[in-house]
A and B are shown apart, each in its own frame.
Chain A
């Protein structure tokens, strides 16, 4: 891990008070002892998920996704809901759009001072919200359109994404009362404690236009009541909504922590996001192959393959054995390329998909699709361990045109900001 004051993964109760360090970011409350929040303990949760995407890249407001997730009201219990939207900030598409939740003014001041040091902010504003009766005590929610500070980025020796990720980890782990809800470009997450339809109204998602929307309604098994713990979980351009409880959690967590990811929230969604980030962004594998690794074919199937395929699959399964995700789950991954849905190998969670023209719909329940698109076509259940990929037409075209050979080549090229450094590298 890059040493930006590595966040602690454990928060020992140093004072022996029974209150875990880090709790200052919770607004003061009279209950004592307070219930453990996300990150203090591991909280299993059931969920509803939904997604809508226009492959043509045309943007639609959030009204359909809101109705779709609202239909599945009974699959959540009012303790978490949220949305991720892609393409909502075209005027700032080159800048990182940080959505940050604050539980105190001190947290905001500290975070902004930190951001001022490491980023150059072009615009910062409070995210507009609408009062909703059922939404209690929302945090102060801001957004920042920012670029990495060029000199500090160059000095860090990291690429832009790694640099940004490290600072997001710092804010989440080290600044009490601040939580980065999303940190991608031209995308954002809108989430909080409440039913998803109320959260959507609170954030006025019907006033944003996006080419892809994902939504999440949460049924956690206890009551952390913390906005940062709601989903979608995001990192850089990734967003993940997830239904299920992965039994491989600790194996996956301890695997990704080797590579500097801090699983602060102890949630499945977080570790799945980090697995995608590791395999896809860092190791250069396609999101489909990353999903394939996470739901690898059984050895029996591999043994039945021809030798070349079996060798390929064996190498993947062997090298990435600890990236195998186990237990019931359905996941929708959002990225700048589009959406990817994946179910566990045994198909223990529902996830339906359908399409109409350039539109693609996914939801935990078929009714949630038919509600917003009554004449949807190709309605089907997404199979266990079979990545379902939806990409923007422009991405598909660009990939088809790219004649480059398809080897993954993670981070072997010199970083862009290193090229201008003196002395120049001599050509070999």
Chain B
């Protein structure tokens, strides 16, 4: 069937600069750049271009640039090129549209409407170069009051198991299969260097990652891939994945062609078979079932590992989170609707769920109203883009945040949104050996460590400006935030005052 869509991008080649080295031809797994068989000329098929920017950034003479396809649309604000492209694609395939990475729509980003405070006169700001500035967070459940013996300086009933993060930033779950092993290795190396945790996702823990298991959160999702007692006991913590911000309410599907020998071994499924994660856990049809799974996992690990439960931010998330805390979750992970993914149905990704900012504020407030906020930890994810976003998330009530997209961008990802094709030119979202080898774990880890270290310095600077020297005093400290460009209802849900108040 003839494709009635225009290309999205146009490849521009500066013929004066181009030295015809063919590096672009070799680098592009999408086969955009090619030698014309008849003339031998270097040409580009713009239709195949996903704008991953691999060629433009590696071109030794900077002869390449990608621009938007210049075709004007019909001038309709309703029937935009994008809206028509979706219809055309479905008219040609009859299928569900697939998409990758986070929701690209221009919904309100509430982070950008929250401004931070700083000390003036009545309260000195603190210089992090001079004074200690603590960013360590400890995650897990804890009693609301501690039984201690003050004379012997001992705790009568020991604390439940905890995770200790030197920075308030962890790495979101990304499974082997959706990302390459080198990507996971880079995150594992970075987590160890930073004193934080990576999450192996639902695809099992590859044996090469076992040396980093003390920095791993192992995930149990609806497909239960790679789950056995050894796996559960290997990591520092266990995360039950109920849902994901990019695709709340649905499962996952890793096509058989991606299940190569290594993925098959790690996921504990036959090579070449589709890996289907059902939409629900078929042993969790209600909150009391979640409790049973939580305690099954605690039993399996001798109550030595914190159990986190991750949900997508959906309409009733505050009540759901409260139920999770009461069901025994030690850590509640909230993933907002802009969170990334390797593949999701486009309609789900773009339309289901709610922003993390509102979900986080609502959950934190509900847990406080019920007097249980201090007994459980709260982790927020789904578009934390910089250190200021982290500070905002903590001030809204998060103990820590997780980053996925930001860590991948540090490694080279340019958010082309074509992860599902398996042709990631950066070696991240692919299992093709030639592409995976482009990502050197040590070099990628260095970039991620640099990123998070830089963020942590910025967090310290911002905390110091507020006159705060421990992140504990920032958590839930919403007076450190003021809203701009928000209506009263938004301010009420976020629990912040308007700038000037």
- Residues on A lying within 8 angstroms of B by beta carbon are 42, 44-46, 221, 244-245, 247-252, 254-255, 257-259, 282-283, 285-286, 289, 296, 298-300, 308-309, 311-312, 314-322, 324-328, 345-346, 348, 405-410
Contact = CB atoms under 8 A, between A and B. Distances in A.
Interface in B78-122: 119, 122
A316 B155 CA distance: 9
B154 A308 contact: yes
A315 B146 contact: yes
B465 to A, nearest CB: 10
A300 B371 contact: no
Contacts of A282: 145
Contacts of A248: 468, 472-473, 477
A382 to B, nearest CB: 18
Interface residues of B, number: 48
B470 interface: yes
B314 interface: no
Contacts of B140: 318
Contact of B148 (A244, A251, A312, A348): A312
Interface string B139-180: 010111111111111111011001000000000000000000
| Interface hub of A244, A315, A322, A406 (most chain B Cβ within 10 A) | A315
B122 A245 contact: yes
A316 B146 contact: yes
Given A247-B466, A326-B470, A321 B373 contact: no
A318 B159 contact: yes
B136 interface: yes
Cβ-closest 8 pairs across A and B: A248-B473, A406-B151, A326-B473, A247-B467, A250-B479, A44-B122, A251-B477, A245-B123
Contact of A315 (B131, B159, B368): B159
Given A314-B138, A318-B142, A326 B467 contact: yes
B472 A247 contact: no
B467 A328 contact: yes
Contact of B162 (A255, A318, A328, A406): A318
B477 A258 contact: no
B6 to A, nearest CB: 52
Given A258-B374, A319-B146, A346-B131, A312 B472 contact: no
A319 B157 CA distance: 12
A114 B464 CA distance: 47
B132 A258 contact: no
Contacts of B213: none
Contacts of A325: 473
A247 B473 contact: yes
Contacts of A407: 147-149, 156
A286 B148 CA distance: 11
Nearest to A346: B131
Contacts of A221: 122
Contacts of B132: 298, 300
B479 A255 contact: no
Interface in B454-481: 466-470, 472-480
B496 to A, nearest CB: 10
B223 to A, nearest CB: 34
Given A309-B153, A315-B155, A346 B469 contact: yes
B368 A321 contact: no
Nearest to A251: B477
Contacts of A283: 145-146
A409 B159 CA distance: 17
A315 B140 CA distance: 12
Interface of B: 119, 122-124, 126, 131-132, 134, 136, 138, 140, 142-156, 158-159, 162, 368, 371-374, 466-470, 472-480
B477 A312 contact: no
A320 B472 CA distance: 9
Contacts of A314: 138, 159
B369 to A, nearest CB: 8
A140 to B, nearest CB: 33
A324 B151 contact: no
A295 to B, nearest CB: 10
B148 A408 contact: yes
Contact of A247 (B123, B144, B147): B123
Contacts of B475: 251, 321-322
A321 B138 contact: yes
Nearest to B394: A251
20 contacts: A46-B122, A247-B123, A247-B468, A247-B473, A247-B477, A251-B476, A258-B371, A286-B150, A299-B134, A311-B155, A318-B162, A319-B145, A321-B475, A322-B472, A322-B475, A324-B470, A326-B472, A348-B124, A406-B149, A408-B150
A245 B119 CA distance: 10
A247 B466 CA distance: 7
A254 B149 CA distance: 28
A315 B158 CA distance: 8
B374 A255 contact: yes
A248 B470 CA distance: 9
Contacts of B156: 407
Nearest to A249: B479
Contacts of B134: 298-299
Given A250-B477, A251-B473, A321-B472, A312 B368 contact: no
Contacts of B368: 254, 257-258
Given A247-B473, A249-B477, A319 B142 contact: yes
| Interface hub of B119, B474, B476 (most chain A Cβ within 10 A) | B476
A300 B472 CA distance: 15
B159 A319 contact: yes
A300 B152 CA distance: 22
Nearest to A410: B145
| Interface hub of A285, A299, A409 (most chain B Cβ within 10 A) | A299
A61 B241 CA distance: 67
| Interface hub of B126, B151, B371, B477 (most chain A Cβ within 10 A) | B477
A41 to B, nearest CB: 8
Contacts of B466: 247
A76 to B, nearest CB: 14
Nearest to B501: A41
B127 to A, nearest CB: 10
A312 B371 contact: no
A167 to B, nearest CB: 21
B195 to A, nearest CB: 11
A275 B149 CA distance: 20
Contacts of B158: 311, 315
A354 to B, nearest CB: 26
B153 A327 contact: no
B138 A318 contact: yes
Nearest to B375: A319
A391 to B, nearest CB: 14
Nearest to B136: A299
A287 B158 CA distance: 22
Contacts of A321: 138, 374, 472, 475
Given A251-B472, A321-B472, A408-B147, 5 more contacts: A250-B476, A255-B374, A289-B150, A319-B145, A408-B150
Nearest to A300: B132
A221 B121 CA distance: 10
A324 to B, nearest CB: 5
Given A251-B473, A321-B472, A346-B126, A259 B371 contact: yes
Contacts of A406: 149-152
A210 B21 CA distance: 92
Contacts of B148: 285, 289, 312, 315-316, 407-408
A137 B153 CA distance: 52
A248 B122 CA distance: 14
Contacts of A249: 477, 479
Contacts of A410: 145
A328 B478 contact: no
A348 B464 CA distance: 13
A208 to B, nearest CB: 33
Nearest to A286: B150
Contacts of A45: 122
B469 A345 contact: yes
